[in-house]
Chains A and B, each alone.
Chain A
Amino acid sequence: MSAILDLPWIPSPRMTEALPVATPALQDPVTSLLEREAEPLRRVIGRYVRHEHAVDEIFQEVSLKVLRRIDTVRDPLAVRGWLFQLARNAALDWLRSQDRRPASPSETLDTHRAAGDLGRNPVEHLMTTERVEAIRRALDDLPASQREVIRLRIDEGLDHEAIALRLGISRQAVEVRLCRGRAALKDRLDAILSGDL
């Protein structure tokens, strides 16, 4: 069926709706898909999350979503990209939840030291406060037109259409400014991470 994934069979939406999810015969293709894609998905998650236990936790979450939503994928050739996006979104959701999560009383500094960190949240592990501040300065240094679009998107959560309306420009112009601004910010981050800054 799929030369790319070498999937033996992916259940059609009609079939998964008709049969209970817990039926072993229907879980097998999905389970085998997960087994086959486990390592690539864990590598994707590992780009965002360092600790092995967190990778396990997120992978479990991804597996559950795969079981529940596999029948929403119409094109078998899109399965691998869909799995990638599922893993990426789950990792980002986990990072955001960790960022908002208040430190529990049991999480003493000793606990974090034993785990090999200093108690900072995962984003701070990947990007120190200094690096985050450098990114913010890079945003401040962008041309006003690019900076404004990025701020409206991130700070106010406006989608591209709403930004276009707000600024009185086309959606395409919004996306051009957004892409240029983000590319400049990524160049700065790459320079920071490679030690140039």
Chain B
Amino acid sequence: MTPAAAPLTCAEAEPLLPLVADGALSPADDPALFDHLATCPGCQESLAHHDLISLALAQPRPAAPQPRVIRHRWWLALPVAAAAGLVLNLLLAPSGTAPSQPPMAAISPPAPAQADPIIIERDVAAVPGGMPGKRLILVRRGDQVVLVDPAAPVDSPRQDATPASLRY
């Protein structure tokens, strides 16, 4: 029979506990240490804390919160921006004149504009079914929106413009 090793004290066992927790020491390597561990509540508790640290560090770290990426769907705003631009243009245009355009000439008769839908292209409105090749501009005059022909001569006699209805 192997002679009994001198029993370990807690002070002697404590520095070895990290190696036990790490799996580097087994009962076959150090029977006296493990015999002490089997009977010492304090060292058992201490070893359990070392083991908990191993378990805690082995757990996967929670994923760091990703910075929020805001994907702007800028193209979705294009129709709104176009419409807003048109309205702004209409509101800011000097009453009775179109910017950088010759003095307006009244359109007569404006009736087809009321019947047919107006296709808006920036600040230019083309009236389907109107005169071929004719480009008309919507301008605001007071509370009314009227169609003007920028190609009309400046000195042409001005006619009363009839309000056109806008349908979007």
Chain A residues close to B by CB (< 8 Å)? 4, 40, 43-44, 47-48, 75-78, 80-85, 88, 92, 95-96, 99, 123, 126-127, 131-132, 135-136, 139, 150, 153-154, 160, 175, 178-179, 182-183, 185-186, 189-190, 193
The total of Cβ contacts below 8 Å across the A-B interface reads 108
Contact across chains for B34 and A85 when beta carbons are under 8 A apart: yes
Interface size on B, residues (CB 8 A): 38
Tell me whether B69 is interfacial, beta carbon within 8 Å. Answer: no
A132 in complex: contacting residue of B26, B38, B59, CB < 8 Å: B59
Indicate whether A47 sits within 8 Å of B44 (C-beta atoms), given known contacts A139-B57, A182-B22.
yes
Classify the secondary structure of A's interface with B: helix
Please encode chain B, from 49 to 73, with 1 for each CB lying within 8 Å of some chain A CB and 0 for all others: 1111111111101000000000000
Contact across chains for B19 and A178 when beta carbons are under 8 A apart: yes
Measured between beta carbons, the chain A residues less than 8 angstroms from B45 are 47
Contact across chains for B38 and A40 when beta carbons are under 8 A apart: yes
Contact across chains for B50 and A186 when beta carbons are under 8 A apart: yes
Indicate whether A92 sits within 8 Å of B55 (C-beta atoms), given known contacts A81-B27, A153-B22, A179-B15.
yes
The chain A residue sitting closest to B4, CB to CB, is: A77
Q: In whole angstroms, what is the CA distance A16 to B28 when docked?
A: 21
Measured between beta carbons, the chain B residues less than 8 angstroms from A95 are 55
